[in-house]
Amino acid sequence: MSDRRRILGNMASLFTLQGANYLLPLITLPYLVRVLGPGKFGLIVFAQAFIQYFVVLANYGFNLSATREVAVHRDDPQKLGEIVSSVVTIKVLLAFAGWVLLAAIVLAISAFRKHWALYLIVYLTVVGSTLFPTWLFLGLERMRDITWMNLGARLITTAAIFIFIHNPQDYLVVAAIQSVPVLLATVPAWTVLIKAHVVTWRRPDRRAIWEQIHSGWHVFLSTAAINIYTSSNTFALGLIAGPEAVGYFSVANKIAGAVTGLYQPVNQTLYPYISKLTENSQKAVIEFIKRIYPIFVFSGLAATVVLLLSANQIITLIAGTGYAPAVPVLKWLSMLPFILAFGHIYGSLTMLPMGMKKLFSRIVTIGMLVDLVLIYPLISLYGAVGAAMSTVVVEVCVSVLMIISAKHKKLLSLSDTAPANGVGLL
């Protein structure tokens, strides 16, 4: 199979999966926001934003760092088995540590203790994220396998929303249903890999474990920083303005996220391909990125214009007139598709495959600091709209810094003589 056919096939599979991840929840969203109301709906979203910190901890950046390792060494069974066993061991230990930390927080803080069952239920998201080997399938470029497993689980949980949810008191059931899709797909995922003899389990030694921890460290810092200036806006909004404001923000954020989420299957398909390409030819990497650059930019611009002009109609259609405060939030968030186009091109598809994890980490850390400075005053003054403002300003800062850094390092210049793995660029 040619590279082009494999890339397009993998991308089509991941677009299908992304449709399941974003479009199926949008099908249930109009029903849930009406049945639960802004208060209970916002409470669930607040818990999910809080638990996202533990997801980031358990994943430890392996969806990028381990994906690259698997892509590079997938033809070496011994090395691949070492990578798999080390990554799984680390993820399980981190997930357990996160559960202990969550239990301590819930017991120590009355506001969390009041809804202890909700937080423990939503922690199933961490369990699923820990056990499902997304990073392994991506590195092996077996995206079709991921698609049918997750799609089946998403369809089951979507149907369950309409069958079991009837009033605001069912909010714990909603949290459980929304937390288990990836966990449901875990058993078939590992069954496929074991039956296909793709990987063999090897007892991980300290050297292999430390190697993976070191490899994923800067990516972990990056994803943690990104999570702080994305999920933390929802979390801070709940603490400052209450669950209803979270409900309004979440409706708009889910709609914008369904659009910006379309970048994810493209990135997940291209990242292992570009990572493999960097081992052979930097010139080929640069030429490939330059070909896809205008596609990212123009599609992002088109999505921004559509969201901005139709924000009122979209909110009314999906959530009803009772969620009118979400309209200005969506108008602010509509800028993200265009802004993120540059961040993805210069960041996850250029800096990371070329080995510039430290620089990438520094940039998103700056974005996190900007968010921490802005978030409290903006939410205090403007509520849910302020959270959206902070999100947009931070993404602009991050994308601009990535563009400046890439231009300064001449990453996309064919005359640049720097090695493809980024050595000497930091």
At residue 9 the predicted structure's pLDDT band, cuts being 50, 70 and 90, is low
Task: For residue 410, give both structure tokens.
Answer: 């001449």
Task: Tell me how crowded residue 140 is: count the other CB atoms within 10 A of its CB.
Answer: 20
What is the distance between the alpha carbons of residues 130 and 58, in angstroms, rounded to a whole number? 6
106 alpha-carbon distance from chain centroid: 25
Mean pLDDT of 373-382: 92
Task: Tell me how crowded residue 260 is: count the other CB atoms within 10 A of its CB.
Answer: 23
* 48-62, 87-101, 211-225, 262-276, range with the lowest pLDDT: 262-276
- What pLDDT digit, counting tens, does each position of 156-201 carry? 888 999 999 999 999 999 999 989 888 888 888 888 888 777 777 7
Task: Tell me how crowded residue 132 is: count the other CB atoms within 10 A of its CB.
Answer: 23
Q: Residue 381: inside a domain, yes or no?
A: yes
Mean pLDDT of 202-212: 83
- What pLDDT digit, counting tens, does each position of 355-365 carry? 777 888 889 88
Enumerate long-range contacts of 317-320, CB under 8 Å, 24 or more apart. 317/30, 318/26, 318/29, 318/30, 318/33, 318/251, 318/255, 319/29, 319/30, 319/33, 319/34, 319/251, 320/30, 320/33, 320/34
Mean pLDDT of 43-72: 86
Q: Residue 49: inside a domain, yes or no?
A: yes
What is the model's pLDDT at position 359? 85
Q: Residue 415: inside a domain, yes or no?
A: no
- What pLDDT digit, counting tens, does each position of 225-275 carry? 777 777 778 888 888 888 888 889 988 998 898 888 777 777 777 777 787
> What is the count of structural domains for the chain?
1
- What pLDDT digit, counting tens, does each position of 385-417 carry? 999 999 999 999 999 999 998 888 777 665 444
Q: Residue 18: inside a domain, yes or no?
A: yes
DSSP structure string for 4-33: HHHHHHHHHHHHHHHIIIIIHHHHHHHHHH
Q: Residue 23: inside a domain, yes or no?
A: yes
Q: Residue 226: inside a domain, yes or no?
A: yes
Which among 346, 353, 344, 345 is positioned nearest to 421, based on CA atoms?
Answer: 353
* pLDDT: which is higher, 273 or 56: 56
* pLDDT: which is higher, 39 or 381: 381
Whether the model clears a pTM of 0.85, i.e. scores above it, the answer is no
What is the model's pLDDT at position 424? 33
Q: Residue 309: inside a domain, yes or no?
A: yes
What is the distance between the alpha carbons of residues 234 and 231, in angstroms, rounded to a whole number? 5
Residue 370 predicted with pLDDT over 70: yes
Residue 62 predicted with pLDDT over 90: no
Task: Tell me how crowded residue 159 is: count the other CB atoms within 10 A of its CB.
Answer: 13
Residue 367 predicted with pLDDT over 50: yes
* Mean confidence (pLDDT) of the chain: 83
Domain span holding position 134: 3-409
Tokens 């590992």 sit on residue: 190
Q: Residue 133: inside a domain, yes or no?
A: yes
Sign of the alpha-carbon torsion through 132, 177, 391, 20: positive
* pLDDT: which is higher, 293 or 152: 293
